[in-house]
A and B are shown apart, each in its own frame.
Chain A
Amino acid sequence: MTTMTYDPTRLAQIREIALDVLELEEDELTMTSLFQEDHDADSLRAIEILARIEKEFKVEIPQSELPRMVNIEAVYAVVAEHADRDE
């Protein structure tokens, strides 16, 4: 398994979006806590997160990626793939 280096700005932006949509406090959301199982997120919230991520990073992420985007760690990976690919 490759170790990911996290860009702190990108990570903070992703966290901020997730905290806002999921209505959580800072310390409730970890890299691996699951949006659905741990934070009571449904498909609407998942799409909201995806849409805001797209806007924030100016990328297009297909809805087919939604099932992968289960926590901050996974969202970061998806963003990294799509943002860096477009550069």
Chain B
Amino acid sequence: MSLSTRDIKAMLPHRFPMLQVDRVTELSPGRHIVAEKAVTGSEPCYAAVPDDAPQHAYAYPISLMLESLGQSGCLLWMQSLGRAAYEGRTALIFGSARGLRLTSRVLPGEVMRHQAWLTAVKGDTAILRGETTAAGRPVLTLESMVAVQRDVTLLA
């Protein structure tokens, strides 16, 4: 199955410019997701890059790459829970990540392709692993990330 941007926005509370998944091209509930985010030079993170900066200054920020992969994992988990719509009572919180290895960076004009696999679900906790490529080139691998469901009313 696949998810459109509209489907994604029904499942995640994140909005522009923090919504870091453009579309989902494959989804096997409970198992695996393939999600994409296109990187463009007209995003806020490029606003202050000086004109004489080298090419590597345009590397998409690692924090946003990790957020993008994390959101992809959350979409997989939510779809697996059967939550087609974000109810607003609980949120999926990114708890931790281990073993993130970077092998290349992503530049404007490229599409990040994330894969996430659900390795275990234990109560309100999900453990996933992930991999990102761009233009068929390995970008990063993530050994494990842990997400938890939290009651948002307690966060206020």
Contact = CB atoms under 8 A, between A and B. Distances in A.
Direct contact of A and B (CB under 8 A): yes
Given A21-B98, A51-B122, 20 more contacts: A44-B95, A44-B146, A44-B148, A47-B122, A47-B123, A47-B125, A47-B127, A47-B146, A48-B127, A48-B144, A50-B122, A51-B119, A51-B127, A52-B120, A52-B127, A54-B120, A55-B119, A55-B120, A63-B122, A63-B123
Interface of B: 95-96, 98, 119-120, 122-123, 125, 127, 144, 146, 148
B94 to A, nearest CB: 11
Contacts of B119: 51, 55
14 contacts: A21-B98, A44-B146, A44-B148, A47-B146, A48-B127, A50-B122, A51-B120, A51-B122, A51-B125, A52-B127, A54-B120, A55-B119, A55-B120, A63-B122
A55 B96 CA distance: 19
A44 B120 contact: no
A46 B123 CA distance: 13
Interface string A34-59: 00000000001101101110110000
Contacts of B146: 44, 47-48
A43 to B, nearest CB: 8
